[in-house]
Chain A
Amino acid sequence: MTFGCARDIVERCGVPRFVFSDFPLGNPTGRPHDPDSQRAIVELGLDLLVSATGPGTTVVSPYEWNADHSWKKRVFTKAQPFLDPGATETWLARKERYRELRHEGKL
């Protein structure tokens, strides 16, 4: 059972069961500091575990992040770079290190 917020990525991959929450990336099992939404989303997942009849089944959580959907337009734009400079540097260094480890036969 997969909980996630990137519907297209998860469905492209193909998973047995998927609860999709139309939330910003980072909160697949509920809104922060909103235990009701968290519990409900987890329960959706447990229900789906039992009720799904075939692979690739998606259930959409009924919870809305908030009434303002503008975050959807702003994510992954120049105005809102996804990683800050420090995180970008770390990401690039990791990519390089992964290549080295592969080359050395360690991964």
Chain B
Amino acid sequence: MSHVRYIDKTRQYYKAEGYDRAYEWAHFDTIPFMPFAELGKPLAQCRVGLVSSGDVVRRDVERPPDDPRRLVYSLPADLPVDRFQSRKAAYDRYATTLEDVDSFLPLTHLHRLAAEGVIGGVAARFQVIASEYSQRKTLTIDAPEILRHMREDGVDVALLAAV
């Protein structure tokens, strides 16, 4: 069976829920691309950054009140993944779980790959971005903030785990 057509499925689903106006999914005619060779260093010397849309929070720290602006934030990437959890409700809760953090935030594996010399290292922090309907917010507020954090942390290559 081929992959799920979520664009069609969600359109039908939300129309049945009473939402007549279909969501306009993001689309870009031009996709930025930099060949890896232009980095000028091998992967084994690259610091890898990680972004998650998994609404990740720390289990061991009291959370501040929710900020309705839902801005990007960073968390330390050197903690064991069992110190994190996801608060995300928008996933296929009937077919799977978000209990295993590495299934959407693979820090354990990235650290191992760094120890093995496959990658140069893992950035000191990973970023969490809210799943937003507003493409304007994602483009003009969230993405620049992620870039700022990653530049501060000396990230060479960035991975996005879209939950």
Which residues of chain A have a CB within 8 Å of any CB of chain B? 1-10, 12-16, 20, 22-35, 38-39, 41-43, 45-46, 49-56, 65, 69, 71-72, 74-78, 80, 82-84, 86-87, 90-91, 94-95, 97-98, 101, 106-107
Question: Does B79 reach chain A (CB closer than 8 Å)?
Answer: no
The main secondary structure of chain B at its interface with chain A is: loop
**Which of B1-55 touch A at CB < 8 Å?**
1, 3-10, 12-13, 16, 25-29, 31-36, 43, 48
Q: Does B64 contact A (CB under 8 A)?
A: no
CB–CB B158/A38 < 8 A: no
Sample of 16 more A-B contacts, CB < 8 Å, known A3-B159, A42-B159, A98-B134: A4-B161, A8-B4, A12-B7, A25-B6, A25-B92, A26-B92, A26-B104, A33-B99, A33-B103, A43-B118, A46-B113, A50-B36, A75-B9, A75-B94, A82-B92, A97-B68
Interface set of B (CB-CB < 8 Å, partner A): 1, 3-10, 12-13, 16, 25-29, 31-36, 43, 48, 68-70, 88-100, 102-106, 108-110, 112-113, 118-119, 133-134, 137, 141, 157-163
Contact of B97 with A84 in the complex, beta carbons under 8 Å: no
When the two chains form their complex, are residues A9 and B33 in contact, meaning their CB atoms are under 8 A apart? no
**Contact indicator B163/A26 (Cβ below 8 Å):** yes
A26–B98 alpha-carbon span in the complex (Å): 7
A30 partner residues in chain B, CB cutoff 8 A: 102-103, 106
Given the contacts A29-B103, A71-B92, A46 and B43 also touching, CB distance less than 8 Å: yes
The reply to whether A95 and B13 contact each other, CB–CB distance below 8 Å, is no
Given A8-B7, A26-B104; A45-B97 close (CB under 8 Å): no
B92 and A13 contacting across the interface, CB-CB below 8 Å? no
A56 to B27, CA, bound (A): 12
**Most chain A CB atoms below 10 A, which of B8, B29, B96, B162:** B162
User: Hey, which chain A residues are within 8 Å of B12, CB to CB?
Assistant: 76
B119, A46: Cβ atoms closer than 8 Å: yes
* A to B CB contacts below 8 Å, 18 in the list: A1-B160, A3-B159, A3-B161, A4-B161, A8-B3, A8-B8, A16-B32, A16-B34, A20-B3, A28-B163, A29-B106, A33-B99, A33-B100, A38-B103, A41-B106, A72-B1, A98-B68, A98-B133
